[in-house]
Amino acid sequence: MRNKPLQYESGWLTGTNPVMSVGSGALVLGFLLFTVMDPAFANSVYTGIKDFIATDLSWYYIGFMSFVLFLVVWLIFSGYGDIRLGKDTDRPEFSLFSWFSMLFGAGIGIGILFWSIAEPIYHFQSSPFVAGNQQQTVEAAQVAMRISIFHWGLHGWALFGIAGMTLAYFSYRKGLPLSIRSSLYPIFGDRIYGPVGHVADLLAVFGTVFGIATSLGLGAQQMNAGLNYLLGVEISTGTQIALIAIISVIATASVMSGLNKGIRLLSEWNMWLTVLILGLFIIVGPTAYLLGALVTNVGDYLVHAVELGFWVNPDPQSQKWQGSWTIFYWGWWIAWAPFCGIFIARISKGRTIREFVLGVLVAPTLLAAVWITVFGNTAMYLELFGAGGVVDAVNQDTTMALFSTIELMTGNQALVILMAGICTVMLVTYFVTSADSATLVICTLISMGDEHPLARYRVFWGGAIGAVSAVLLLAGGLKTLQTATIVAALPFSFILIMAIYGLLKSLRAEMQPVRRPQFSRLIGNGGEVKLQATERLPATSNP
């Protein structure tokens, strides 16, 4: 019999675990103070660890991410694909459109909106796959698009998929709490309710709070740039803190309204806005070029995905590029895995493993490829065949890359205002969906898997995320904590490995029914009694 997790039964912390509720607050406050009291020193510490990872452990990150991708693809075709993430009678709670909108919005929507132009332009200027005298050519543009889609494609979504699948399986099929610790049950048993489980969940809280807080702060800078472009609003720290406060209030209101209302409706709204802006880019921009580039980019990425996934830079002189890009991205995906994994699990109850993996792996990757192609290749077209200007804009201010591309793409001022306005609204709504999803996940973790945590916890952590972001912005510690979040991905990757082992162990037990001896008396010479094991039991429900 499983031990019941310790929780407060009365008072302000009712329903939460003492270690998780108090410990998570102390952990966040401690790291925040360490970072803002001396940002330069904190940055040197985090950067030193990050450089060590990039230099000496790049092989580990590369190998880990590729292993996860091959594992989830294997699960699609294996006999385990028919197992349902829930009881056999459970069916999905959300439609495919709502489900996909929520998992994409919580996962990478805001990041891809920020980087879909800036990243390809950076690779267009410099990458280890193109000789120096071939940079900023048609060939360099194709390599840049390949790399960008690779960083936002199958490998990352495979990681989110395995995290979400593991959590959904142990929670909805095995009856354990919806938390990271539950994935470790096949290894540690009831000890997951002790220190082992607390460490796993506290790392998840750390990655969620600081991952969202740093993204919120950096995104506020891009929103400020958009408002400056549209309305002439001053670019300043004060304006950005005001934007963080507004977004935090909206996100808290959204998470208070629940998953089925606020988060779902905002996510669907985001998806329709995404379809609208992509359509406008295709119609207003170089239509034939973009459609051709889409076909080329998807094929080019699929051909080179495995090669890129296993590539470890052999040149010590140019390892900085892989550390700054691929290893940074893989660390960021791992750091966000607990947050996105829990949220994706929460919205995926009732789907089969095969349906879940196909949905999480294929659909977001295709949308990412379309998005990066439409935005990134528009910028490439302007540089290669138009008047140029995007490279200069990106090098001068990354937050202005999107708005500069829109202005250079069309001379129609009304269209420029319309498209820039839509992008600014999307920045707000995508950040809101990320922040409210993160708030729900944190409250679920401190409540030991309660999918409907008390309202006061949602209000507190919704405000705490905004406050952390504002403090980091004021102290100049956003980039520093972003680096720290990547460093925290290393220990969490070990938890993911144990979780994967636990999942495979439990799946194997479920697919290999236990034999129960059926005693049949066979009277032979001398009255000898023989025992035969002839009856097969249904799959066990224990992890």
Residues 60-98: tens digit of each pLDDT: 999 999 999 999 999 999 989 999 999 988 889 888 888
Encode pLDDT of 362-382 as tens digits: 989 999 999 999 999 999 999
Confidence check: pLDDT of 308 > 90? yes
The pLDDT value given to residue 487: 80
Confidence of residue 526 (pLDDT cuts 50, 70, 90): very low
CA distance 345 to 352: 12
Query: Does the predicted model carry a pTM greater than 0.75?
Result: yes
The pLDDT value given to residue 516: 42
Across the range 24-42, mean pLDDT stands at 84
Across the range 342-361, mean pLDDT stands at 91
- Concatenated DSSP letters of 93-137: SS-HHHHHHHHHHHHTHHHHHHHHHHHHHHHHH--TTS-GGGTTS
CA distance 166 to 186: 12
- Better-predicted residue by pLDDT, 485 or 234: 234
**Which of 41-50, 490-499, 519-528, 529-538 shows the highest mean pLDDT?**
490-499
The pLDDT value given to residue 15: 64
Confidence check: pLDDT of 411 > 90? no
The pLDDT value given to residue 460: 85
Confidence of residue 424 (pLDDT cuts 50, 70, 90): confident
Confidence of residue 258 (pLDDT cuts 50, 70, 90): low
The pLDDT value given to residue 172: 92
**Which of 46-55, 214-223, 235-244, 493-502 shows the highest mean pLDDT?**
493-502
**Which of 28-37, 226-235, 240-249, 349-358 shows the highest mean pLDDT?**
349-358
What average pLDDT does the chain have? 83
Confidence check: pLDDT of 218 > 60? yes
Name residue, tokens 């306005």. 421
Across the range 511-515, mean pLDDT stands at 60
Across the range 485-498, mean pLDDT stands at 86
* Token pair for 457: 């916890």
The pLDDT value given to residue 380: 95
Q: Residue 417, class by beta-carbon neighbours within 10 Å (0-12 exposed, 13-18 middle, 19+ buried)?
A: middle
The pLDDT value given to residue 6: 57
Range with the poorest average pLDDT among 13-22, 124-133, 309-318 = 13-22
The pLDDT value given to residue 478: 65
Domains of the chain in start order, with CATH, are 18-507 (1.20.1740)
The pLDDT value given to residue 515: 41
Confidence check: pLDDT of 356 > 90? yes
Confidence of residue 528 (pLDDT cuts 50, 70, 90): very low
Confidence of residue 386 (pLDDT cuts 50, 70, 90): confident
- Other Cβ atoms within 10 Å of 535 Cβ, number: 10
Confidence of residue 538 (pLDDT cuts 50, 70, 90): very low
Confidence check: pLDDT of 518 > 50? no
- Could you give the dihedral angle defined by the CA atoms of residues 342, 348, 349 and 351, in that order, rounded to the nearest 10 degrees? -140
Range with the poorest average pLDDT among 16-25, 76-85, 348-357 = 16-25
- Other Cβ atoms within 10 Å of 478 Cβ, number: 24
- Phi, psi angle pair for 495, to nearest 5°: -65, -40
The pLDDT value given to residue 259: 66
Q: Spell out the residues 6+ positions from residue 340 whose beta carbon is closer than 8 angstroms to its own.
A: 103, 106, 107, 160, 163, 164
Confidence check: pLDDT of 117 > 70? yes
Across the range 493-501, mean pLDDT stands at 93
- Phi, psi angle pair for 91, to nearest 5°: -130, 160
The pLDDT value given to residue 153: 92
